[in-house]
Structure 1
Amino acid sequence: MVSTLQNGARMVLVAAVSSGQGKTTVTAALARSLVRRGQRVRVFKCGPDFIDPMLLERACGAPVHTLDLWMVGRDECRRRLAEAAREADAVLVEGVMGLYDGTPSAADLANEFGIPVLAVIDASAMAQTAGAVARGLRDYGPVQLAGVIANRIASPGHAQMVAGSLRDIPLIGSLNRQAASLPERHLGLVLPGEQPQIDAYLDALADALQLDAAAWDALPLTAPEAQDGPAIAPALAGKTVAIARDAAFAFLYPANLDTLRILGARLSYFSPLADEALPPDADAVYLPGGYPELHGEALSQAARWRASIRAAHAAGLPILAECGGMIALADELTDPDGRCWPMAGLLPGAVTMGTRLAGLGAQALATPDGTLRGHTFHYSRLETPVAPSRYTVRNTSGTQGEAVYELGSLTASYFHGYFASNPQAVARLLTRAAP
């Protein structure tokens, strides 16, 4: 149920015809612009993603959660949106790929919760045709279209031509061509924390965004209604979960950390890149994904970290390693430049970085406590003599997905779990004793 109560927020889903149109840039520019107007802004990202949310968090100053009808679920998406509408003046949801791409799509999300769509149109090689694109995006589904932000505009005259072509659709803003752009690498943008000028870049984007304040303020206030979620038993009460967190292990859903806290766990962070040993009071270890392939030399020389994770494994501490976390536990890693580095050596085998995607998409892991949903996205391959204990299943094809390896108290896979989809399954993984 969606109502337009005065205590709601202006809520839009930022979408486009395809990837590469500038959705992230426009969402970041709009978020920073509204923050500078004194508004409270919350931003969400549609679909599995770790890197874009880091940029959007920097732009709005608040954690950026994932919305996905399959992975997160309708009820949890509704609760997140309702909470954001209570706390914020504006709620922005960045779409994924093209508006109608995927199952479920960003359009499905918008229609499920009555969120108006704000279409980003790359107008760099068009003018009046922008109107046809906007109408196609609106009518194909259809979706409720709030308006358009024209990206990569060449001049005020160009913006006027685009505005005229939209007819009954408002041009809410425009963004000119940017001389500077954020650097990218194989998994997406370079992490914002690695860019000292990131705030200056975001401020420049906000300065460049020509926002029609009257058109924005005319958008309706939306307040989704949601019930409280089911009670979660504190299965990790009294337990300390040690979590690797640095530039090599940065791919963490905020909801995963929230889920661990709701399960009763105390979270303790450490940095393998800084050669920090596991916290001495750790009862379990969570090694999330990230960019270990960019830090092979430092990880290979991190003697304290490597000794401590080996000792933890020998002592039977449960270790959950996802993607980059698993890579760091292999015998060796060959980085994108072809250099080979010794890793921690808990999982026999070698990881080699490739230039093509080796795994992509939503997947599910069957557990004794039900299905844990998540996704995979990686360019590397693991060659190991260890036989998988099981495999994930791809959504929606139902075909075999990523291998899951269980070696002593270690559970490792390229699969990134979304912990809130099954907290009890996660609790079991983090208390799993060696067989």
Structure 2
Amino acid sequence: MSVSCPAAFVAAPASGQGKTTITAAIARYHRNQGRRVRVFKTGPDFLDPMILEQASGQPVDALHLWMVGEAACRAMLYEAAQTSDLILVEGSMGLFDGDPSGADLAQAFGLPILAILDASGMGQTFGALVHGLSTYRPGLSFAGVIANRVGSPGHARMLEDCTPDAIRFFGAVQRNETLSVPDRHLGLVQAGEIADLDARLEAAAAAIEEAGVTGLPEPVTFHPEAIAPITATLSGVRVAIARDAAFAFMYPANLRLLEKMGAELRFFSPLAGDGLPEADAVWLPGGYPELYLDQLAANTALKSDLEAHHAAGRPILAECGGFLYLLDELADREGHTAAMAGLVPGKAQLADRLQGLGLQAAPLPEGELRGHTFHHTRSEVGLEPYDHCWRARGTGSQGEAIYRDGRLSATYLHAWFPSNPEATAQLFRP
């Protein structure tokens, strides 16, 4: 049985237009009105969803036609629509960027586009950009446009006057740098590290209200999708998961899948000095180990625990930051080096430029897992790769290396576990 819910796909012509801030502001505003708001983020992303979760008070899942799959995306949207008063899907990069793009996702599920345009330093050209975005692909529904970083009320009136008549002008948000969220080399700073994040979100919600961006988009009809049931193939398996500021990049859907398969999740903090809890398998997700070199190096008990766990032939999955932590050494951009766990021979250093980016799939012995890579470190590993990931865009160049040593699997790839539940179960099953 289909269900309807007001929904919009929040998009922009490029990165840096303020999509996350505006999406979070709209979510917090409607939450403050007593509405239940569900927010999704397009494509692979860990940092924006942390902000959006705090704004909406609800978990934020990824939607992506290749990594997540169309059927799974449809199922998540349908489930959200059953209990929500508003659904927002924040896009990634520009509306038509990527293959598949945000526009592909919006069109697949009938989500109208709510465009965010940074209007600073812009006059009537604003109307031309809105016209282009709204007409570039026939059949793509448009909810309207929000002008962001507007200089004055007069500037706002100019922008509204030049907006095409067929496009709803939702409002103009005044320029206010205090509303923005600080960032670093991998994107936004993690939500837990921003002491005044709630105050920023409340201020952003107030700015949305002042701009008059308070109306709900039109309802969208969402349809059910039959998804294969998850079996308890990890029943009773204890999975130890590193989780703190150094290891925070994990999809909520990955955690839910492990729990649905019967796994008992045991979280621990390497930064807090925790040792490894009693566990049958270990997951070291990505994050920012390069920012906490000395703290990680000082936790010698955890290093010994991981060495014993590995020697006993128990599974370890290390992704990106987790992979870096298993190397012999890790260095920051200035060359400060610290000893890591030493289970994978090699070293890595933070570089000035991005070293890996894109959607990839890992051909593991357990089965193929889809995911993405995004890192600023260069690594030298004294271990022959088991294989390399393949790129979704088929550029012909090799993807990230996959290292295997017994039951230890290490790679820069961040895997989307639901892309292959059985392969995931085999990775963690003792």
TM-score normalised to structure 1 length:
0.95
Q: Give, as a single letter, the amino acid of the residue that structure 2 aligns with 1:190.
A: V
What residue is the counterpart of 1:284 in the other structure? Answer: 281
Partner Cα distance (1:212, 1:9) in 2: 21
1:360 Cα offset (Å): 0.3
Q: Could you say which residue in structure 2 is the equivalent of 1:404?
A: 402
Deviation at 1:369, TM superposition (A): 5.1
Conserved 8 A contact 1:12-1:92: yes
Deviation at 1:172, TM superposition (A): 1.1
* 1:41 aligned partner: 37
Q: 2:69 is matched with which residue: 70, 73, 76?
A: 73
- Give the C-alpha shift of residue 168 in structure 1: 2.3
Match of 2:141 in 1: 144
| Contact 1:331–1:350 (8 Å) recurs in 2 | yes
Q: C-alpha offsets along residues 273-332 of structure 1, whole Å, 9 cap, x if unaligned? A: 11101112x110000000000000100001222121111111221000000001111101
After superposition, what is the alpha-carbon deviation per residue over 1:11-66, rounded to whole angstroms, capped at 9, x for unaligned? 00000101111111111111111111111100000010000000010110111000
Deviations 1:395-423 (A, max 9, x none): 11154201010112210000110001001
Post-superposition offset of 1:103:
0.2
Cα offsets for 1:213-232 (capped at 9, x unmatched): 67x23x32123111231022
- Give structure 1 stretches of 5+ with no counterpart: none
Deviations 1:316-375 (A, max 9, x none): 210000000011111011112210000011111111110111110000112345421100
Corresponding residue number in structure 2 for 1:187: 186
Distance 1:318 1:369, change over 3 A: closer
Report the Cα offset of residue 170 of structure 1. Answer: 1.1
Aligned: 1:382 with 2:379: yes
Match status 1:266 vs 2:260: no
Match of residue 313 from structure 1 = 310
- Are 2:325 and 1:328 equivalent residues in the alignment? yes
Q: Could you tell me which residue of structure 1 aligns to residue 100 of structure 2? A: 104
SS in 2 for 1:99: coil
Alignment partners' CA distance in 2, 1:334 and 1:400: 25
1:401 match: secondary structure: coil
Q: How does 1:34-433 map to 2 (within 5 A)?
A: 34-142=30-138, 143-166=140-163, 167-180=165-178, 181-209=180-208, 210-212=210-212, 216-217=215-216, 219-280=217-278, 282-368=279-365, 370-397=367-394, 399-431=397-429
Counterpart amino acid of residue 250 in structure 1:
A
Structure-2 separation of matches of 1:126 and 1:359: 34
Distance 2:26 2:211 in 1: 8
Tell me by how many angstroms 1:260 deviates.
Answer: 0.6
Identical columns (%): 52
SS of 1:285's equivalent in the other structure is strand
Instruction: Give the AA of the match of 2:352.
Output: T
Q: CA separation in 2, counterparts of 1:373 and 1:238?
A: 26
Q: 1:212 offset after TM fit, Å?
A: 3.5
Counterpart contact for 2:366–2:427, Cα < 8 Å? no
1-side partners of 2:369 and 2:171: how far apart?
40
What is the number of equivalent residue pairs in this alignment?
425
Once the two structures are TM-superposed, the CA of residue 381 in structure 1 deviates from its matched residue by: 1.5
Counterpart CA distance in 1 for 2:126 and 2:145 is 9
Give 3-state SS (helix, strand or coil) of 1:130's partner: helix
Distance in 2 between the 1:387 and 1:204 partners? 52
Q: TM-score, normalised by structure 2?
A: 0.96
Q: Secondary structure at the match of 1:333?
A: strand
DSSP-derived class of the 2:322 partner: helix
CA distance in 1, matches of 2:88, 2:31: 12
| One-letter identity of the residue aligned with 1:203 | E
1:211: how far off?
Answer: 4.8
Find the aligned partners of 2:245 and 2:49 in 1 and give their Cα distance: 15
For the aligned residue pairs, the C-alpha RMSD in angstroms reads: 1.4
Structure 2: gaps spanning 5 or more residues: none
Secondary structure of the 1:19 match is coil
Give the residue type in structure 1 aligned to 2:401.
Answer: A
Q: Secondary structure at the match of 2:246?
A: coil
Q: Which amino acid aligns with 2:183?
A: E
**Distance (Å, rounded) in 2 between the aligned partners of 1:70 and 1:245:** 27
Deviation, structure 1 residue 377: 0.3
